[in-house]
Structure 1
């Protein structure tokens, strides 16, 4: 049979054949059915390789008919002769052209009794020898052919020897215990196997010979699919790639293996090699455990700059997932400032140079940069880099901090008010450093070698402590010298024998600190004094004061008035919730929650709470009202640190306010009764006034009928006086009636105002005041250059003009009165100006009230209702009225009305 090693040799022969115009084939020695053909056959003769395999009589049909008998003799003579034989045969190519080949045939028999095989080597010749050629030329070509035949025969015999040696080597491998070799059919039944395979699967040779071993039975269920794909690959391509799987041993244990198979078409068998991977798997598992559990970072990278594999230490240290690390070039993770060194190191690794290692900053997923020390080893033949990294961030930070500490120490020594010195056991200076030496008039190192005991011989205190330190005592003292104050520390350093080897001295210039401490003591004294003053103020303050911490709300101070105010002890609280101990209520009786108290709100919001009345139940059970004002206290940065609240007992004041409200209600009732009385009295007085007026008019008519009669002469002066008094009384009664109507909301205006010329109306009223004005010594001047027409209630408007003009004459006798009427910005304006006594500024608003006047009624009389009624009428007409005046400078009253008329309403 054709073994795997023999097949390898045959493939080697085919490779040799491809380099020359040589065809190598193997066929059954009896049927001449081709079993193997070198790929070069298709290129030389043009027939597809499939045709060589599939046509049973391919050889006999493609030998030139004239050479067929010679070919059969050459091919079938193997039953009688086992040695090689050769001849020149012509074969027909795909185009029908005859090509000459030097053909070498060798018959081989299988050692296990299978059918013998023909192995043939065909070397293409330039052209076939022909008898008609010239003798000399034919002889030359014959010699060339014979030489080529001899060379081809030698090569064929050498290949045959190689084939025999290959078969011998294969048998050695088959019989060895290094690798398992198996021959099986297409159904997985194992036909033959060496001892190495039987040892791997745990079966005996008896099990093999009795047919109890099958590949499918050895394969666990999870590997059935991959095994089936391998068998399909063998069937299709004649070979399968090596792959890993597991076998189930006879004892039930599993064994990992590596296997590969090749198809032996002549035998209809598969040859499979099996390698036991148990030891390798255990080594890999151990290596994998070390790889995954190692605290250091290990990785495998490619020359392309990508990680191929990383251990979990990478994800633990850097935070990136394994997928994220493998997805990007590893140079992307290096700090931009370090990337150039990383690229240079990668280039060196590509050249096979491991280099001294690399220390760079690598990005963590959380944005932090870590320092990693890298060691790498390239393997150029695999294109891989094996590397390890160690996180040295803390180490570098510690080194950095050490450097900074040294720098700070040196800075302190060289810039601070410090002196550091070391003396030996005899007291001689070994070290003398520090900026503090300058304040003593010394330079660093100036006293090195001198005796400290001699240098400070005139300062007994210094000498005493030096001696104590040299005796092994650790001590410190305050030394004052040259106007400076030093705090000096003595630390002896002992040798192995316990004796003083040296004395370390550290002297700190505390002159400024002593001064500051003295100032602090003075400030503390002042603060205590101010605190006593504050306590005295809190004790004498007539109101309660509480102080609390913010934001907790802890009450830690309350003055004595707080105890007096609530008539019980003040309860210290730990937080705002403790305010429940203080019974406070809203006006509606709802209790104050802790966060509702003014102090709580002021500390929480930062906004002062002023004069909030809180109803309280005192310790003696009485009720009271306290107005609390709270404010937050801020520090220099504006943070609320405390809260202060002050309480004012307003119980008596609230009671007085309630009493005042009660009296005010009674007053309102009295005024209402008065107004009602005035209204009734006004109506009742109008009836006799009307009758009296009619009687006076009748009497005047009688007197005027006989003006020369003694009776008429006696009555005339009295009738005029009676008329004025009746008129005045009528005005007073009308004012009282208007006040009652205004109070009751019944001041009537004309429902349908008509067009009214304000200038004409004022001129008419001024004319009626002519007699009264002359009697008062006033001249009335009217400035009305043009009519000012509007839709107003003329009777009520006349009442306003009458009141204002009457007041001007009353309070400005002997002086002219100026009247003005004009249209300004779409409004009618009436101005009444007198030069009388004037009105004080504080009375300018008060004069518009009921029964109000700016002067004593004893001198000017009247009810004080004219201006009040006038203002009500003007506002009812949609206008405004105001007064401008100063004492002694007269007064000006200004009325402005809308030209289209005011709102038709009642005041």
Structure 2
């Protein structure tokens, strides 16, 4: 039994082979050049770069055969990798190892083989560079030497592949480091443009790489920081190796972040290599600390608090700045201050203040008092004053300290609360008069119902209070329960049953009241009786269904009528044509009259079609579709505008919109057709323009024709109205009325800008 050779270092050899990551890769010109050269030097029709893995030999490059691999157990190269020198088989038919090999007995009919092992610097054979012939032969020493040199070149290529992979891996690691960095890393070129940015740029600024790379970095710098930023960059041009500075950068959402930059230039290219750290949070913390200090300084002012001290031994009265602000007094000496202070006290409160002060001086107890002061403009402030007496060793009061607070807003708010309470009670009374009101606890048990609830349900309060409403007047569906249990307001219509079994409808709002745990503790239901309204809606729906039926019948009637009207017209037209054909030599005046007759018949048929089209506008739903307006206009113009006598100008900014194609085609077809039909110039000019308005698309169709006198600007949109006599220009007078009706049905408008003999512009809008 034949045993296939396995190198002693097979495990290490296969591990080394996998490092190259070359198996099953595409062909490469460097390897193909070597096999071609080996085939040429050794004068063989076949040359291969063969790599041996566990089960196969795979050809990285081949000359003379089409297969990409063979099984390892029939390969010649498996013997080549067993040694260090060239393995040569002069005649395979005479060799016991290969005489019965299918590669010898069959295609490609190998007779001669010579292979040089692909030996790495670690002494491991990856495969071979081999040459094959279909006839027996031997290589010369020069050919063997060349084959060895070429196999060494293959190994060099393999080693360079690993080095390339190592370089790519290091580049990848560096790129990963940059990509994963939370700092903003970029390269700016000599023109001041972002050349490369890392993902942190898109994370912090919100712009994509495409929106940043190739754009001047100055576009993003806050306008107030731009001069200092340019000044810093200028330092680099003067030889400084590194600069550090801060500026504000604009984000895509319009906000700014504060960035701290470290920047160095590349002496060779002049590119700037920059790293920035987002300091927005740090700046915010810093500003917060500043604000906290300011807040502490201003807290008394914000709280409208002032402090005071009165020395009973020296009779000195001292006020803080806040005290002066509250009483709106200028700073003054102690003796004068006491009199000014007393003059501000409301006369009705002065006696109470005096008594409170006397008690504090006698007892040494703290006091609290509310009083009013009257300012020079007669406005009133409400003051809360708290005082604390201080005594000596003999329990004699020698000093009083205290604070005052302007509680005007609090007092007014309390007064408003009292008024609001009364207002709430009045509202409740009003609701009881006009609405159906009930209150349920968190379990759905009724705790309150008003008289209207009892009246519509026909239950007494005794029959309702403490009961589950859903078991009395009708159950609440799961959607309602799921909504209100989550603490959300539910609004809608609900059908209930009264005590006598009759149904009634309510338009209801259920408001959950939430407790401290943010869960409902009760539900307030306010509703109105809409039974009559629901009955009316049902009647209206029936009427609408009947109307729809009538419209269908009207359409059918219109079709029948138009068919019956057009049938005799066609007969008249055919008869006139037959008479003309049968009497080719009739007088010119008679022939002209027949032409006039056929024209009137055609006008009548167009008029019938126009009236039908006008009647259908707004009654037939048309599905919207995406319309390339430029393409649609090109198609209409191609059909309707003569190429020799007209010049057409279409604006460059026509959009793609979502609308009813057939309606817009009718509008533009009518307007362009009229511009052609009524033009009286040797070369007609038709211009189409577009303008985007906030909520509308605006289109303009302009011509250089005879224009329309101002008196006719409104008349031309009426059915059957024409400016030019029908004997001069054939017209039904329906086209512009169709245009106006289509546009107005869509919610747009149309107007004319024209003077007689100065051309005409039709300007119309359709909603976006």
Q: Shared topology, TM-score over 0.5?
A: no
- The answer to which structure, 1 or 2, has the higher relative contact order (CA under 8 A, 6+ apart) is 2
TM-score (norm 1): 0.28
TM-score (norm 2): 0.33
